[in-house]
Structure 1
């Protein structure tokens, strides 16, 4: 295979990386499309175990389905846990732990029957009570679930989370061991899709209660998914094996999955080329711009078109980004086409709105680049803040060659257009994510991938100032009122207009500056079959196998 790296790594270095790494930079991807693969028979006379060698670019912060907000954690969680629904080999939604379901005509009542052959990895049966327990536990404010707001569709969920209601008022109910009923606060046609998300996964109560660190070590994790977690050497590697108690183990072909935590994407690509890893690029690791260019020239580049948006985010609680005009100035002065053509090279569209155009809210966007207007807005914003000189600000990104090049390009752009000199800093993903979530940054890069296929998923994260995933600390009453009204609007056209009006406010206030819509690059490995990239992004290993 032709090498796509500019530098070479020694055999000794590669061996040391396979056996243990100490740091874990990553690019956020949230958790898009399936990877089309022909289905072939996996019957083989070989007695050797079938092992998939994978990598992640950052240490998974947690294996707790109710706590995880990042792609690395969710990919690992989907190995070990399973919800009511999942996808088939073509990425279409199917029942998983649910044996069947029904819903009321107005989509306010959902009734799931739990399959009786579903078991936890310790042999205990998976019951409807495990789902009720997990959902109420994730809504408990003491749990501090970043995705708790995705459970607010359940009647009483938001009230319990906000402290104005009780757990017993949350309308998810296990009426017996195998029957789970939901009553929703308003019509929610996409609710079944939501049940495939990790926040809705069941939890093994005896393993979770009384052990706050249960999700950080392999020995204490009891799952119900297609694989078991055998070992977890932090910041080095994770190992998984096929679960003997999984209800659909006949369709799990891999015996083992060995996942190395590899900080450097070029190192991971070199290992893929040498046969030490079985996948090259997303969703395992990010391809550098240099590698993408060369793979593209060879005609081997594949881009998964997963709905998502990358943006520059501003901490609206920290001056000077408390000022709307200054945020607008930074956004209007970005040459998005230059970033896409010269750095990304994947042909993704420039973003002039936060909601992906594939969701049909406003394909035309809400603004355009305007260098002269940017200069004017900067001057007006500084005057409003009483600034004669622009203060020192630092742009923050997690390690990754693409984000590094974007940071450098933006630094040059803002110097040239606005006359502003900015500093740049970087941290490994786990540190970066913690800092951004806690507001310890001025401004920087952020990527959001769809959790479900509706514009509300991109808008509601900024509805409440202290809500989960509101890393920009956006707080706007009119925006909040529009989204709250959209939850109860049953007319599709009127609901769309409410969300359009909300996004228009978001793009006028500009607490974030969209750069481009998501496109995830990888190079196809022909021997890996039936590996599925979730329609909204992320890894699904259940059906994967390696053709000998």
Structure 2
């Protein structure tokens, strides 16, 4: 999913007052309220219409799929009590637990059947629909070539759900804990349409239920009393604050008004360790920052141009001098340490010195027809938060130093606006980051498939790449699958539709008086596991 950060450089008086009321150091209810900073305002809380990590923080507290996140984000059984897999590994039969929606109506297999049909219905306009194309006939149904009855998700009865796949998918449990696979209350959605998600209407099956949402101020959820285990939850409510003003966040921590925040200024890691002992949590994560080319623009159709701009960027300087400690320069899209993959794909110029890369970049651009009489001009847009504004001038300087006739402009964007522009292909070069939705290289490589849709920001299209990714999906021998995935990634890197920049660490500030928080490479931390020390 896209990585967080939106630019909210102000904190309204009402929001600040509410924050204090929700658990300042002298507040009577602070022990019962978990106060989380989430960095950005959700576009929606409909699990079928979101696409971002900050939205996942809230939605994952309200809904649970067939699998769910364990304390360390590994998949564990959620709404499923048990499951069976047939010999072909393409038919999964789930038996559901006894569970109710927050309004007391039972959660049934028909809710799941309805949910999968809904997210794959093009009228829903889900950004993430293509993630589910591994389900039998999902792509045909999405393209309106097949009826809903042909989709490979079938409710046999209230407690039995069958999912048929196009090919074996060893990562399916991880996918089924993702919000694309969350159920929605059929009875409410059919009654209220898009209004079902409003605080006064929403019905959930997870531990917390939305009760209030003031855009750009806060989101409040309270315990869902129908949730199995509700009585064991340590916090009666969770309040989420979509603020990215890190100076303000520090003030809230100092005054005891915030328990967790999902970002901090990477360059100040050691300073923050000293200022807030025990708060800094930074661990390697399955997150890659990359820059997307809009490959449909004539100036970026030439692979020589794309490689020239990619190789000119001094990742070592950026990582060592500008970015968060622990970041690693990236020369491939798939991050190291991911499951079911040995890696090995790499840009062909990775072993060149920076001086050699700059000279080669100039040569390639000249070969592509650019020079003093035909300058190469373009605009790079980037997210307004995290370390992105600090590194942008270095990016611009690297490009402009290729030659006097290379003229890169940089433009900061509010992150919500940034991702909207990327999805609409309203950019030339744009900064983005991807956080693994499930622990498998396919979750990164699917981004560049031509069928992926708006998540393929630059509209890269390669029939050969598509065929390789499809072949990897059909391959049951894991070693052979790894080899095919490597071939696909190498092909894509040679064509350079995106510029891999660095692999990130997950950065969180967490009150050391909280328990149940577990560092993990997916950077998922569900509120239901968190408690406060007595």
TM above 0.5: yes
Q: Give how far 1:498 is off.
A: 1.5
Alpha-carbon spacing, 1:394–1:465, altered in 2? closer, same or farther (3 Å): farther
Q: Give how far 1:453 is off.
A: 1.3
The corresponding residue for 1:3 is none
Matches of 2:274 and 2:362, distance apart in 1: 38
Q: Relative to structure 2, which stretch is displaced further, 537-546 or 431-440?
A: 537-546
1:410 pairs with 395, 402, 407, which one?
395
Q: Give how far 1:427 is off.
A: 2.4
1:295 pairs with 257, 265, 272, which one?
272
Alpha-carbon spacing, 1:216–1:265, altered in 2? closer, same or farther (3 Å): farther
Matches of 2:42 and 2:11, distance apart in 1: 23
Q: Relative to structure 2, which stretch is displaced further, 121-130 or 368-377?
A: 368-377
Alpha-carbon spacing, 1:47–1:287, altered in 2? closer, same or farther (3 Å): closer
Q: Does 1:305 align with 2:284?
A: yes
Q: Relative to structure 2, which stretch is displaced further, 391-400 or 73-82?
A: 391-400
1:380 pairs with 367, 373, 376, which one?
367
- The 5-angstrom pairing of residues 86-125 of structure 1 reads 86-116=68-98, 118-125=99-106
Contact in 2 for aligned 1:330/1:414 (Cα 8 Å): yes
Alpha-carbon spacing, 1:466–1:305, altered in 2? closer, same or farther (3 Å): closer
Q: Give how far 1:193 is off.
A: 2.1
The corresponding residue for 1:538 is 524
Matches of 1:212 and 1:354, distance apart in 2: 38
Contact in 2 for aligned 1:286/1:400 (Cα 8 Å): no
Q: Give how far 1:17 is off.
A: 4.8
Q: Does 1:528 align with 2:528?
A: no
Matches of 1:387 and 1:462, distance apart in 2: 34
2:142 pairs with 139, 161, 164, which one?
161
1:319 pairs with 275, 288, 298, which one?
298
State the Cα deviation string for residues 94-139 of structure 1 (Å, max 9, x = none). 21111111112331111111111x1111111110100000001111
Matches of 1:155 and 1:364, distance apart in 2: 30
Contact in 1 for aligned 2:385/2:415 (Cα 8 Å): no
The corresponding residue for 1:493 is 479
Contact in 2 for aligned 1:465/1:473 (Cα 8 Å): no
Matches of 2:387 and 2:437, distance apart in 1: 23
What secondary structure, in the 3-state scheme, does the structure 1 residue paired with 2:300 have?
coil
Q: Does 1:428 align with 2:421?
A: no
Q: Relative to structure 2, which stretch is displaced further, 242-251 or 289-298?
A: 289-298
State the Cα deviation string for residues 330-364 of structure 1 (Å, max 9, x = none). 11011111111112232222110011121334246
Q: Does 1:133 align with 2:114?
A: yes
Matches of 1:534 and 1:357, distance apart in 2: 14
- The 5-angstrom pairing of residues 95-494 of structure 1 reads 95-116=77-98, 118-209=99-190, 211-214=192-195, 217-279=198-260, 284-295=261-272, 301-359=280-338, 360-363=341-344, 365-367=346-348, 368=350, 370-383=357-370, 388-419=373-404, 420-464=406-450, 467-494=453-480
Contact in 2 for aligned 1:329/1:377 (Cα 8 Å): yes
The corresponding residue for 1:64 is 46
Contact in 2 for aligned 1:265/1:285 (Cα 8 Å): no
The corresponding residue for 1:36 is none
State the Cα deviation string for residues 285-326 of structure 1 (Å, max 9, x = none). 421244325236778643122212101111111232222111
Alpha-carbon spacing, 1:87–1:477, altered in 2? closer, same or farther (3 Å): same
What secondary structure, in the 3-state scheme, does the structure 2 residue paired with 1:472 have?
coil
Q: Give how far 1:178 is off.
A: 0.6
Contact in 1 for aligned 2:130/2:139 (Cα 8 Å): yes
Q: Give how far 1:445 is off.
A: 0.9
Q: Does 1:75 align with 2:61?
A: no
Matches of 2:70 and 2:259, distance apart in 1: 22
Contact in 2 for aligned 1:396/1:424 (Cα 8 Å): yes
The corresponding residue for 1:84 is 66
| Structure 1 segments unaligned to the other structure (5+ residues) | 1-8, 22-45
The corresponding residue for 2:23 is none
Alpha-carbon spacing, 1:522–1:397, altered in 2? closer, same or farther (3 Å): same
What secondary structure, in the 3-state scheme, does the structure 2 residue paired with 1:239 have?
strand
Matches of 2:487 and 2:113, distance apart in 1: 35
Q: Relative to structure 2, which stretch is displaced further, 445-454 or 288-297?
A: 288-297
How many aligned positions are there? Answer: 507
Matches of 1:500 and 1:228, distance apart in 2: 43
The corresponding residue for 1:18 is 16
What secondary structure, in the 3-state scheme, does the structure 1 residue paired with 2:216 have?
coil
The corresponding residue for 1:506 is 492
The corresponding residue for 1:41 is none
Matches of 1:55 and 1:302, distance apart in 2: 14
Alpha-carbon spacing, 1:108–1:409, altered in 2? closer, same or farther (3 Å): same
Contact in 2 for aligned 1:115/1:178 (Cα 8 Å): yes
State the Cα deviation string for residues 368-402 of structure 1 (Å, max 9, x = none). 1522211111212235xx99333432211121151
Contact in 1 for aligned 2:315/2:501 (Cα 8 Å): yes
Matches of 2:83 and 2:375, distance apart in 1: 58
Contact in 2 for aligned 1:156/1:171 (Cα 8 Å): yes
The corresponding residue for 1:37 is none
